[in-house]
Amino acid sequence: MQVTETLAEGLKRELKVVIPASDLATRLDTYLDDMKSKVRINGFRPGKVPAAHLKRLYGRQAMAELLGNLINETVAKTIEERKEKPALQPEIDLPEEDAEKVLAGESDLCFTMAYDLLPEFELIDFSKVELERPIVEVSEEEVDEQVKQIAESNRSFEAREEGAEAQNGDRVTMSYLGKLDGEPFEGGADENGQLVLGSGQFIPGFEEQLVGMKVGDEKVIDVTFPEEYGAKNLAGKAVTFDIVVKEVAAPGELVIDDEFATKLGLESLDKLKEIIRGQIESQFGSVTRQKVKRALLDKLDEEYSFDLPEKLVENEFAGVWQQVEADMQQSGKTFEDEKTTEEEAKAEYRRIAERRVRLGLVLSEVGEQNKVQVSDEEVQRALYDRVRQFPGQEQQVFEFYKNNQQALASLRAPIYEEKVVDFILELANITDKPVSKDELFKIEEDEA
């Protein structure tokens, strides 16, 4: 076997591999000799089939199988001998006409293998990385507000007397039929829809037009869907709703005490507040974690600058751009709407792809050097969490992941990333910074 390096530019490598036809013939003879005792051919006793006859029957098929295995073995052996780390599996180029000659035993096996190397870089001292961690202290007012919202959602209502007009705070039960250009639209009808006036649950301007209506009243309401409405066929469109009021109910007294907590299955109001506080702390903590992680990744992006494997960047960009196009198609927006051009957008998302690849390589190196591992139990928990997202299809989803190693790897990857980030954060110099709730979530909005 002869291996010749034909390209070595930056991270790119290309090798030409030649395996003499005589070596292939020897391998084929050995392969066919092994087949003698395994095949059954009419007219011949086991193990007594002439080599020439066996070669006529199975020579081409055997050579094809040999070539596939030989190319894989040669690629792996060559990479190992060169002590290189390819970013992806090398691409093999064996022209079809050449392959036909090789299969017929008329030519040497000659193919090229092209690949990008993983870049080499030194890890920084993470103890010198300085970060701020935004911390929000959960106030009693925040807890009380959440408890009040729960109480509001469980508030009882009692039908008002006949002829009473609906007021803000009342619950109106009605039938409604939405129409766009005089024609009913999907999702715009209900026979017993309920709405608490003043809650802001419906389209702006809808609830206000119900104030003053009585049981049995009929009315056509004119409203306009917001520009950012999810259904693009309705976004920004003026529509009408045919309304018939069936009931007007007044809100019952809002009492927040131990008895209220027991109706929710808890022993006391204090226990309810304790649970609510824990939920809020968890919510704030999740946002804080994302902010610290984002700050860490920004720091790493500043610290590291090295050549990237082109194929990795291309693959990442292709995935990002596919999502961009899908999002734009769903929203009905154009690049002009976003005040940009397709070329400018591609350049920006390519930079994002490059950042992702660079940071991915850094995190991977940190994990490898420090032996960060993801256990099978952790992957199993992630799989069960994923399965629960598809009620009624649990078995199909479970089987899909179990039989698809790439899909299973997609569950392992984010767990691995979070564990590496945790490892770095343990070493980093982190200072807690007290902030308000509004400041914490404003940071999130700005970054989004």
Tens digits of residue pLDDT in 363-422: 999 999 999 999 999 999 999 999 999 988 999 999 999 889 889 999 999 999 999 999
Q: What is the pLDDT of residues 182-223, one digit of tens each?
A: 999 998 999 999 999 998 888 999 999 999 999 999 999 999
DSSP 240-286: EEEEEEEEEEEEPP---SHHHHHHTT-S-HHHHHHHHHHHHHHHHHH
Who has greater pLDDT, 107 or 241? Answer: 241
CATH topology for 156-253? Chitinase A; domain 3 (3.10.50)
Confidence band for 448, pLDDT divided at 50, 70 and 90: very low
Report the SS3 class of residue 56: helix
Instruction: Say how far apart CA 231 and CA 159 lie, in whole Å.
Output: 34
Q: CB neighbours (10 Å) of residue 21?
A: 14
Report the SS3 class of residue 437: helix
Task: Supply 371's token pair.
Answer: 């032996």
Domain residues of the chain, as ranges?
2-116, 156-253, 260-447
Q: What is each CA distance from 5 to 23, 63, 105, 113, in whole angstroms? A: 21, 26, 26, 10
Residue 178, CA atoms < 13 Å, CB-side half-sphere: 18
Residue 37, CA atoms < 13 Å, CB-side half-sphere: 4
Percent helix / strand / coil, the chain, rounded to 5: 50, 20, 30
Whether 40 has a pLDDT exceeding 80, the answer reads no
Whether 34 has a pLDDT exceeding 80, the answer reads no
CATH topology for 2-116? Alpha-Beta Plaits (3.30.70)
Whether 49 has a pLDDT exceeding 60, the answer reads yes
CATH architecture entry for 260-447:
Orthogonal Bundle (1.10)
Q: CB neighbours (10 Å) of residue 38?
A: 8
Instruction: Say how far apart CA 33 and CA 59 lie, in whole Å.
Output: 11
